[in-house]
Copies of this chain bind each other. A is one copy, B any other.
Amino acid sequence: MAQGRHFLQIPGPSPVPDRILRAIGMPVLDHRGPDFGKLGHEVLEGCKAVFQTSGPVIIYPGSGTGAWEAAIVNTLSPGDRVLMAETGHFASLWCKMARRWGIEVEFLPGDWRRGAEPERIEAVLAEDRAHAIRAVMVVHNETSTGATSRIADIRKAMDAASHPALLLVDSISGLGSADLRHEEWGIDVTVSCSQKGLMLPPGLGFNAVSQKAIAASRESRMPRSYWDWNDMLGPNSTGFFPYTPATNMLYGLREALAMLQEEGLQAVFARHKRLAAAARAAVHSWGLDIQCQDEREHSPVLTAVVMPEGHDADRFRKAVLDSCNMSLGAGLGKVAGRVFRIGHLGEANDLTLMAALAGVEMGLSLCQVPHRKGGLDAASTVLANTVPS
């Protein structure tokens, strides 16, 4: 049934470019030898540009979930209070993880249709005169909803409240597709991973860290070993790692960093914004609803679409997979079965997006989901009108 090229249009893992797959498939090397030192140095330095930081970026063999854990265990201590915002499924999971580590989380409730609200964060922080809140933890691009929190505004809110909390940001799906300025926005830890905007397979987790975060790690009383930043920072300074790194993934990372640099980060961000606008034009044309409801927060990474009442999103996704050989993202957690997600992150371009939208439209027809025609025309018109010069 599933013939020909598979269209992987989930919001991560994103399709891995051929250049990167070939790089990953090269023979493994001695992780203690001089060639490795060069590779290690190159990727550790190269990552800084993508995170838009001059400080260290720590690379773990692991998943984004591991990088979440690393951010927690390096900066916090049991019993610490933190402020989080319920932007969706992944914010909820990170909150749950923090609680498992003994953190007391104030979890601002949300409707999963917008990003974290700077005003509410400011209000809570302003109340916290004792500065008991050790950290604000926010998901930059909520992969379950397609809402991108305004981190710069959250930074401003924290500053307005003159609050010294750390700012920990999950940009797992944002990094490399949506603008994320670690340093300019005063982020203390940016958590990310390999299989989204970095266009790699899953297998690497990242923590970009500020000096303030490193200082906090020296105070932290969490037991830790694998994720310990300080164990990493020493060997990293010469391009090496305290334990065996995922060497072949680092080959891929070197290639990915080269690709992002060749295109230029600003061009990468503009491309994803443009694709997202085209995707939304199609969805509007079909008469369907978009999960994210704040115009300022539509994600350049993915578009989550609300299924009309009475239609099951997972049945629809299965029909698309079977008939069009395309994977769409499932609704997760509270919106399971009610939402499907179209990924347009990573190496996405005009025609992969148009293919994805064509598959969605065919699926709507096959499943007799009520919709208007014209989505493809709407999207292609947006794209044709905005071809970069």
Nearest-neighbour CB distance to chain B for A80, whole angstroms, equals: 13
Nearest-neighbour CB distance to chain B for A220, whole angstroms, equals: 12
| CA distance in complex: A349, B320 (Å) | 13
Q: Which residues of B contact A373 (CB under 8 A)?
A: 377
Q: Kindly state whether residue A383 has any CB partner on chain B within 8 Å.
A: yes
Residue in B26, B330, B366 whose beta carbon sits within 8 Å of that of A32 in the complex: B330
Closest to A20 in B: B25
Q: Which residues of B contact A31 (CB under 8 A)?
A: 13, 202
Q: Which residues of B contact A28 (CB under 8 A)?
A: 8, 13-16, 195, 201-202
Contact mask for chain A residues 328-363; partner B; CB cutoff 8 A; 1 contact, 0 none:
001000000000000000011111101110110110
Q: Which residues of B contact A24 (CB under 8 A)?
A: 24-25, 248
- Asked if A3 meets B263 with Cβ closer than 8 Å, knowing A26-B21, A28-B13, the reply is yes
Nearest-neighbour CB distance to chain B for A310, whole angstroms, equals: 20
Contact mask for chain A residues 296-333; partner B; CB cutoff 8 A; 1 contact, 0 none:
00000000000000000000000001011111001000
Nearest-neighbour CB distance to chain B for A145, whole angstroms, equals: 17
| CA distance in complex: A171, B336 (Å) | 41
Of the stretches A45-53, A56-64, A180-188, the one at the interface is A56-64
Q: Kindly state whether residue A130 has any CB partner on chain B within 8 Å.
A: no
Residue in B3, B62, B223 whose beta carbon sits within 8 Å of that of A222 in the complex: B223
| CA distance in complex: A383, B365 (Å) | 10
A residues with a Cβ closer than 8 A to B are 1, 3-8, 10, 12-19, 21-34, 60-66, 69, 78, 97, 100-102, 193, 195, 201-203, 222-226, 242-249, 263, 267, 271, 321, 323-327, 330, 347-352, 354-356, 358-359, 361-362, 365-366, 373-374, 376-377, 380-381, 383-384, 387-388
Q: Which residues of B contact A242 (CB under 8 A)?
A: 65
| CA distance in complex: A387, B361 (Å) | 13
Which 10 interchain pairs have the tightest Cβ spacing? A4-B349, A25-B25, A354-B358, A203-B246, A65-B243, A355-B355, A376-B376, A30-B327, A201-B248, A351-B355
| CA distance in complex: A100, B330 (Å) | 40
| CA distance in complex: A7, B5 (Å) | 11
Residue in B3, B34, B203 whose beta carbon sits within 8 Å of that of A271 in the complex: B3
- Decide: B351 and A7 in contact? CB cutoff 8 A: yes
Q: Which residues of B contact A101 (CB under 8 A)?
A: 223, 225
- Decide: B324 and A246 in contact? CB cutoff 8 A: no
Residue in B15, B362, B383 whose beta carbon sits within 8 Å of that of A384 in the complex: B362
- Decide: B380 and A351 in contact? CB cutoff 8 A: no
- Decide: B350 and A245 in contact? CB cutoff 8 A: no
A-B pairs with beta carbons under 8 Å apart, 27 shown? A4-B17, A5-B15, A6-B27, A7-B351, A13-B244, A15-B28, A24-B25, A28-B202, A61-B63, A63-B245, A64-B243, A65-B243, A65-B244, A100-B223, A101-B225, A193-B244, A201-B246, A202-B247, A223-B223, A246-B246, A350-B358, A351-B359, A354-B354, A354-B355, A354-B358, A362-B384, A365-B384
Closest to A349 in B: B4
Closest to A374 in B: B377
